[in-house]
Chains A and B, each alone.
Chain A
Amino acid sequence: MNSHLISFQLNTMPVSVETTPDARLIDVLREHFRLTGTKEGCGEGECGACMILLDDRPTLSCLVAIGAIDGKRVITIEGLRETPGFAILAQAFNDAGAVQCGYCTPGMIMIAYALLRDQRDPDESSIRRAMAGNLCRCTGYAMIVEAIRLAATRRGQSW
């Protein structure tokens, strides 16, 4: 397949990359742009570790071909961490003990951010349903649920 110039917005900056359009977005983010906060846990859309926001929608970057995002907006954990919402989420993850090995954590925070953007104060079952595509093998999940509830109580008008 021939290389194409793909242009998109990455963490608020306009960027272009010369690549074959079937390259996976996760590889372009990690290997080309060196944004390694987006993790690969399975490469088949089952674990959620590679979650990013594509035009504000939580999306698994291992399932997206770079050719499909021309002209779109991508936010990774490296972009999200500049926001006040991230600071509240990270503090809540810390306080609830929601981080152990940490490999799932950036993906968890990406989807939690989108959840709290769409729902001001989700109850436990809404949180569990919204997060069900993100796997964690360390915590047993309850502390992550608690972190998101804590963040919901502390969010104010931050996002």
Chain B
Amino acid sequence: MNSVFTANLDRADTPDKCDGGARYVHDLQVAGMLHAVTVRSSVRRGTITSITVPELPAGYVQVSAADVPGVNQISYFKDPCPFFAPGSVQYRGEAVLLLVGGDPAKLHRLARQTIIEYDEIPAIHTMEEALAGDKPPIFGSDNIYIEERFGHGDVDGAIARAAEVFTTTTETGYQDHLYLEPQGVLACPEVDRMTIYVSSQGPHAARKVVAAALGWDEASVRVIQTTVGGGFGGKIEPPMFLAAQSAVAAHHCGKPVRLIYTREEDLLCTTKRHPSRITVTSALAADGSILAVDIDSLFQGGGYSQSCAMVLDTGTKKASGVYHFPAIRVRGRGLASNNPMPGAFRGFGAPQNYFALETHLNALARKLGREPLEMKRALFIKQGDATITGGRYHFATGLDETISAATEAAGYYRRRKALPAGPSTRRGLGQALVKFGAPNSVDSKISLDSRSIGLRKHSDGRIEILSELVEMGQGLHTAFRKLVARHLDLPVKRVSHAPGDTDAVPFLSITGASMSVVLFGATLLEAADKLKARLDEPGEVTILQPARQPDHVFWDATALRGEPFHSYAWGTFIAEVEVDMITYQVQVVDLWVALDVGSVIDRRLVQGQIEGGAVQGLGFSLLECMPRDGFSCSLTDYLIPTFLDAPQVHGLIVETPYPPGPYGAKCVGEPPLVGVGPAIADAVANACGVEIYQLPITPEYLLQRMTKR
């Protein structure tokens, strides 16, 4: 256990958040401000033939693709994506135009009265339809946004020689981020400038998008990050769209425009977790040992690729789990559809793939009558092993320690076979193992010199952290203050964090993919090293430190070879469930989450990430149900865990330091979510005696599984 950071630090943002003083974007009002309401596509796919807006009162205008002075495109993604429908629509809820005026209620009424007519094109509703090719393709000729393959060894030969071939197919559905603060932007035009107030996970990314939309240089756009009421990946993509739309509207009207989504809109049209269908096939020797594994992973994207390529890519690279198989082939494909628009979400493709692989191995262990953890242990990755992309696991793995911590705390081996059943209930314990690579390596040919993080010593001795990385609740700014104070050997109250304002902090990165502490925390310490030598200089001293990947990372993004990730967190999840055999409701009684997160910077913050991430994973596993080709646009239909659904989460922290990380820290944002699904599914399977191949495990699904003849 590391002893560098012993005490928890009180977050600087807590007092304002408690007393209502914290300013979220919805709380901002400026003089002369207008409101905007979005008019959306009511069909999944079609060409717009006419738009009839009711006669608008004085001071009210409509703003659409025709009013974009620059380019109607978000360039952040691999494939361009328009922010106003460009004469055609690809999903229900796509923004066609904004109505702008003084009274939000009147705007909503006018929006309802606006009539858009379409020539409908047959929509693609399923992954089968996307692959079948009998409807006009949405993307390219085959609807495949991205396809990637990784692996080593002779998988086909192993399958041909196998004593037995075992195959499972798992499916997962949509999950909405359900940050409590809906999306919002306030765009304020000034003389020759535009200032954007936004709740986002990347102010510089938003600035780039707005500048392109207006046809301006980036310096003419200023983006100010407001307090973020939760992100989870859901404030990476949508805020870029809202920022571009409201900036165009503000420019058009010459007045500030505020665009705030209702919850209904937010559920309808913002990004969600990609639904998946993943088939895992293992070739078994006569003694049941695994000779090779073949994984075919399909992710259902939307009508535009947006971040589908990134999510599919990282998820596919993670698909081999904590194992070094004798031979493996992973094929990942991201497919186009006209269903609700998916995107980035905490876990970034890993929850789907870990559910597939761990469920496969747990089902295999049950079939063979083996203790699953012992069966899996024979295949564990060891330090020095090769990754599926030809890189190496360079550093010590804490997987065994997480297994010990979780199994001991849960009494797993003792209680697994001996859980009491009630008169109408059954109990089960289940487990799952994960690793989480972060950050995703970028091509080693690409210099990160244009990305930097900084420190400023003010003349009064205060130290300010200059970083665009966003505090969205996770506690990042608190962790950064602790790192800097420790490194400069100063009291932490002398260290503050600059506001997220593109005029004040340099371009670095969006905040996501669990990379802020492990990568940019190390860059921040390099800045601190430079500042340390100059602390006694009079006046102001500013250090800007460019980001770089650590020395052990080489990645060739063309050949897809090298280190796919910089570092790995390791984890063991154990769930105890009680299943009501009358209603088929599953209640998670206890959840043990043991994570090797490297050295801990703040124990209370790490616990907060573990507990919150695990409960969000529980929602994904049991409750959060959105029809794959349909819509749930209200919290009455789309249920997230409440105080009564959340179990006792036992966060167990293992600290295997990662030498290139700041004081040995790795990551903690995403790992707590990614193993919850397979652990709960295994527990339900053990309780009920049927295999579980779908998330969420709804009562309807469990009823079908248990009554199937």
Chain A residues proximal to chain B, CB less than 8 Å:
30-31, 34-44, 46-47, 49, 76-78, 81, 86, 89-90, 93-94, 97, 99-106, 109, 127-129, 131-145
Contacts and interface: CB of A to CB of B under 8 A. Distances in A.
Given A42-B263, A77-B20, A99-B14, A137 B179 contact: yes
Interface residues of B, number: 58
A38 B180 contact: no
Contact of A103 (B24, B232, B640): B24
Contacts of B230: 100-101, 103, 137-138
Nearest to B635: A46
Nearest to B636: A46
A100 B612 CA distance: 10
A101 B648 CA distance: 21
Contact of A77 (B19, B636, B644): B19
Interface string B167-207: 00000000001111110000000000000000000000000
Sort A-B residue pairs by CB-CB distance and give the 8 closest, nearest first.
Answer: A37-B20, A102-B17, A101-B473, A103-B229, A100-B473, A140-B615, A140-B611, A46-B635
Interface string B239-272: 0000000000000000000000011100000000
B57 interface: no
Contacts of A35: 20
A101 B649 contact: no
B518 interface: no
A31 B29 contact: yes
Interface stretch (B80-88, B128-136, B366-374, B600-608): B600-608
Interface string B625-655: 0000000001110001111101011000000
A49 B643 contact: no
B646 A142 contact: yes
Contacts of B614: 140
Contacts of B616: 137, 140
Contacts of B604: 97
A18 B641 CA distance: 40
Nearest to B260: A40
Contact of A135 (B13, B23, B180, B634): B180
B644 A129 contact: yes
A142 B648 contact: yes
Contacts of A93: 14, 18
A132 to B, nearest CB: 5
B26 interface: yes
A38 B22 CA distance: 11
B21 interface: yes
B472 interface: yes
A133 B472 CA distance: 23
Contacts of A144: 643
Contacts of B181: 39, 41, 101, 103
A135 B640 contact: yes
Given A39-B181, A44-B634, A90 B644 contact: no
A102 B15 contact: no
Nearest to B263: A42
A143 B611 contact: yes
B20 A36 contact: yes
B279 interface: no
A103 B180 contact: yes
Given A101-B473, A145-B643, A94 B10 contact: yes
Contacts of A127: 643
A101 B18 contact: no
Chain B CB within 10 Å — which of A34, A40, A133 has the most? A40
Nearest to B11: A99
A57 to B, nearest CB: 19
B300 interface: no
12 contacts: A42-B635, A43-B264, A47-B180, A94-B11, A101-B179, A102-B13, A127-B643, A137-B177, A137-B178, A137-B640, A141-B642, A141-B646
B107 to A, nearest CB: 14
A44 B263 contact: yes
Contacts of A49: 180
Nearest to B231: A101
Given A44-B263, A81-B20, A134-B643, 12 more contacts: A39-B24, A39-B26, A93-B18, A97-B607, A99-B14, A101-B227, A102-B16, A105-B18, A129-B644, A137-B616, A138-B230, A141-B646
B27 interface: yes
B228 interface: yes
Contacts of A131: 643
Interface string B462-484: 00000000001111000000000
B180 A37 contact: no
Most chain B Cβ neighbours within 10 Å, of A34, A38, A39, A132: A39
Given A102-B13, A103-B181, A141 B643 contact: yes
Greatest chain B CB density within 10 A among A99, A138, A142 is at A138
Interface in B587-632: 604-605, 607-608, 611-616
Contacts of A43: 262-264
Given A44-B634, A94-B10, A100-B612, A36 B605 contact: no
A97 B605 contact: yes
Given A139-B608, A139-B611, A99 B18 contact: yes
A39 B14 contact: no
Contacts of A129: 643-644
A36 B260 CA distance: 14
A89 B19 CA distance: 10
A74 to B, nearest CB: 14
A140 B646 CA distance: 7
Interface in B219-240: 227-232
A105 B13 CA distance: 12
Contacts of B474: 100, 138
B642 to A, nearest CB: 5
Contacts of B178: 135, 137
A31 B20 CA distance: 15
Nearest to B610: A140
